[in-house]
Structure 1
Amino acid sequence: MRTDISFPSQGLTCRGWLYLPDDHDNGQALPTIIMAHGFSDVKEHALPEFAQKFNAAGFAAVVFDYRFYGDSDGEPRCQSFPLEMADDFRNAITWACEQANIDGARIGLWGTSFAGGIVTYAATFDKRVKAVVAQVPTISNGLTRRAADTEAWERPEEFLLADRLARFRSGEVNYLKVVAPEGEPCFLAGKEAYDFFMETKTAAPNWRNGVTVESMEKIRQFDPLSQIGLMSHAALLVIAAEHDTFKTVESLEYAVDQAGGPAKLTKHPVGHFDVYKDPWLTIVVDEAIDWYNEYLV
């Protein structure tokens, strides 16, 4: 059963869905998983499949769009400021804890790709979170660097300073494509990323192939790995793809080793985007469910 929801976040409104099991007793407060997508993506793409599987296992699920994306408020559109995205997660937690059918003492976070780092950071500073699943995550600035278009990342001064000057002089907002055919500038280079996001465009017509250039500044400064040792109150599961071209398994092993609480790494012989389709979607969801059953139920 899915219902539309909304909640305030820093003066704007985030919108999403609350998923409850079909056999849910309205008097029962459920353990709940709060979810949002990775870099630039929106809730309609793949997340319903994950949420429905969590429902089938007895969990409520809150799925939402970050501010500046999808159905949520915010201008300019397609702005990815990691600290603000972490605030959106924390405001989603606050909303969830106010609902009679959600057990505020049993809150888990789930994030995929770029959102894996967002949920790790949000949980580090929010003791209401008891369990985190970071799926094929970007957890450090160094890992983000591998995901970015090489030229745009290696030569940032001219690119980013020109954008800053334009914003200062006229308020102009400049954009970089998220993905593009080979040879064109973009944030996520490579055919694998391009094909994935072209599927996103089909599943979610409100997805836009762009991100503000200012977002790159904020992303470069974001490093949840530096704080992960403080997360002693929440159990962290990291699901890794062994053929991920955006980060190495070894770097994720390091992140798990640095975690302040219970932590585990699982790895699979797949690429970064394979986890969004069966059979791997079911495999990684089952791992997440096992983790939430251990630490939320």
Structure 2
Amino acid sequence: MRKVNFKNRSWNISGNLHLPDNFDKTQLYPAIVCVHPGSSVKEQTAGLYAEKLAQRGFLALAHDASFQGGSGGEPRYLEDPATRVEDIRCAVDYLTTLDFVDKNRIGLLGICAGGGYAANAAMTERRIKAVATVVGTNASRAFRELNFLDTLEAVSAQRTAEANGAEPMITNWTPNSAEEAMQAGINEFDMLEAINYYRTPRGEFPTSNNKLLFTSMANLITFDAFHLAEFLLTQPLLVIVGDKVGAFGSYRDGFDLYNKAASSSKKIHIVKGASHYDLYDKRKATAEALEKLVPFFQENLF
């Protein structure tokens, strides 16, 4: 693995470039951009899939989102969907500068919210020849099912406060522990599994610090990752979901994307007995996902 940097506008994006075994810089390789979930960083589930894909002959790039992790950009902890999509375009830009990347064989894989961003990027980024999602979510749909008008009122009030000298409001993506969640009356399956992944030794990483700029919520609520997919998402598509359904909605969103996509070649695969977070790192679930991802990318990138 090589640590790399590339630009989005004026700041650096931090990436890990996973190289195939017996890498030969004189050869041309197919490449896959791996996009992490919201609140995540490149060393977590996106990095796991990137590493496994590299072991199967692909060059795989996982990167931190702008404003987060090891990447630059201000304000910190901003989750801006449009910039997340631009990060993907910039990752493709970077790959095209590498002499050992075949510029005509670039694919895209997104996990959770990264799946929604990946699908959205592929609609306008024609250099992407195949796109896959693992428990991909349309984050706007999830947030719009909450008290979104109340949230937008609160965001507006917070922007006024910050314009008049208040400190930016930083909130958490999840409670910091299962105990904290229970004390707050939160016992939903997906949320508890998110805490178990992100806030315990199972998946935690120092730069994945559970911080979200509160005013990001306006961007998240209004961004529809699948808008115009029925016209613009034409590349080969693979959607992978688990059938243990929780409130985050990746099962429903997976079928929504599959049904909407204009792709003439599209598949959906259900991993039986797997939850949203099983498909982040659990050996059995991720192995089954990779059994579908590898031949999909081989078929469309080799």
Structure 2 length as normaliser, TM-score? Answer: 0.89
What is residue 36 of structure 2 aligned with on the other side? 37
Which amino acid counterpart does residue 163 of structure 1 have in structure 2? Q
Shift of the 14–170 alpha-carbon distance from structure 1 to 2, 3 Å rule, reads: same
Shift of the 53–100 alpha-carbon distance from structure 1 to 2, 3 Å rule, reads: same
What is residue 242 of structure 2 aligned with on the other side? 241
Is the Cα–Cα contact under 8 Å of residues 136 and 253 in structure 2 kept in the other structure? no
Is the Cα–Cα contact under 8 Å of residues 135 and 250 in structure 2 kept in the other structure? no
Is the Cα–Cα contact under 8 Å of residues 176 and 213 in structure 1 kept in the other structure? yes
What is residue 96 of structure 1 aligned with on the other side? 95
Is the Cα–Cα contact under 8 Å of residues 176 and 185 in structure 1 kept in the other structure? no
Is the Cα–Cα contact under 8 Å of residues 132 and 293 in structure 2 kept in the other structure? yes
Which amino acid counterpart does residue 74 of structure 1 have in structure 2? G
Once residues 75 and 202 of structure 2 are traced to their aligned partners in structure 1, the CA distance between those partners, rounded to angstroms, is 20
Count of residue correspondences: 291
Is the Cα–Cα contact under 8 Å of residues 44 and 203 in structure 1 kept in the other structure? no
CA deviation string 1:60-102 (max 9, x = no partner): 0011111111111122221100010100110010010110011
What is residue 125 of structure 2 aligned with on the other side? 126
Which amino acid counterpart does residue 254 of structure 2 have in structure 1? L
Identity of aligned residues (%): 25
Once residues 133 and 61 of structure 2 are traced to their aligned partners in structure 1, the CA distance between those partners, rounded to angstroms, is 16
The Cα of 1:233 is off from its aligned counterpart by 4.0
What is residue 167 of structure 2 aligned with on the other side? 172
Once residues 167 and 184 of structure 1 are traced to their aligned partners in structure 2, the CA distance between those partners, rounded to angstroms, is 27
What is residue 256 of structure 1 aligned with on the other side? 258
Is the Cα–Cα contact under 8 Å of residues 30 and 103 in structure 1 kept in the other structure? yes
Once residues 251 and 3 of structure 1 are traced to their aligned partners in structure 2, the CA distance between those partners, rounded to angstroms, is 34
Which amino acid counterpart does residue 72 of structure 1 have in structure 2? S
270-279 or 154-163: which moved more? 154-163
What is the correspondence of 1:29-108 to structure 2 with a 5 Å cutoff? 29-108=28-107
Shift of the 232–68 alpha-carbon distance from structure 1 to 2, 3 Å rule, reads: closer
The Cα of 1:203 is off from its aligned counterpart by 3.8
Shift of the 145–9 alpha-carbon distance from structure 1 to 2, 3 Å rule, reads: same
The Cα of 1:255 is off from its aligned counterpart by 2.0
Is the Cα–Cα contact under 8 Å of residues 139 and 220 in structure 2 kept in the other structure? no
What is residue 224 of structure 2 aligned with on the other side? 223
Once residues 118 and 5 of structure 1 are traced to their aligned partners in structure 2, the CA distance between those partners, rounded to angstroms, is 21
What is the correspondence of 1:182-197 to structure 2 with a 5 Å cutoff? 182=181, 183-184=183-184, 190-197=191-198
Q: Does 1:287 align with 2:287?
A: no
Is the Cα–Cα contact under 8 Å of residues 177 and 185 in structure 1 kept in the other structure? no
What is residue 276 of structure 2 aligned with on the other side? 272
What is residue 199 of structure 2 aligned with on the other side? 198
CA deviation string 1:10-31 (max 9, x = no partner): 1110011111112122211100
The Cα of 1:110 is off from its aligned counterpart by 0.8
The Cα of 1:216 is off from its aligned counterpart by 0.9
Which amino acid counterpart does residue 176 of structure 1 have in structure 2? T
Is the Cα–Cα contact under 8 Å of residues 130 and 233 in structure 1 kept in the other structure? no
CA deviation string 1:214-253 (max 9, x = no partner): 1111010110212212335411111112223111634432
Shift of the 274–190 alpha-carbon distance from structure 1 to 2, 3 Å rule, reads: same
CA deviation string 1:145-183 (max 9, x = no partner): 45xxx46x4631442222121232226311121111225
Once residues 132 and 24 of structure 1 are traced to their aligned partners in structure 2, the CA distance between those partners, rounded to angstroms, is 24
Once residues 161 and 185 of structure 2 are traced to their aligned partners in structure 1, the CA distance between those partners, rounded to angstroms, is 19
RMSD of aligned Cα (Å): 2.2
Which amino acid counterpart does residue 165 of structure 1 have in structure 2? T
Is the Cα–Cα contact under 8 Å of residues 41 and 69 in structure 2 kept in the other structure? yes
Once residues 171 and 99 of structure 1 are traced to their aligned partners in structure 2, the CA distance between those partners, rounded to angstroms, is 45
Which amino acid counterpart does residue 173 of structure 2 have in structure 1? V
SS of structure 2 residue aligned to 1:111:
strand
Once residues 254 and 283 of structure 1 are traced to their aligned partners in structure 2, the CA distance between those partners, rounded to angstroms, is 22
Structure 1 length as normaliser, TM-score? Answer: 0.91
Once residues 288 and 185 of structure 1 are traced to their aligned partners in structure 2, the CA distance between those partners, rounded to angstroms, is 38
The Cα of 1:202 is off from its aligned counterpart by 6.1
Which amino acid counterpart does residue 160 of structure 2 have in structure 1? L
Is the Cα–Cα contact under 8 Å of residues 258 and 268 in structure 2 kept in the other structure? yes
The Cα of 1:263 is off from its aligned counterpart by 1.8
Is the Cα–Cα contact under 8 Å of residues 43 and 64 in structure 1 kept in the other structure? yes
Once residues 139 and 66 of structure 2 are traced to their aligned partners in structure 1, the CA distance between those partners, rounded to angstroms, is 22
Gaps of 5+ in 1: none
The Cα of 1:184 is off from its aligned counterpart by 4.2
Shift of the 86–282 alpha-carbon distance from structure 1 to 2, 3 Å rule, reads: same
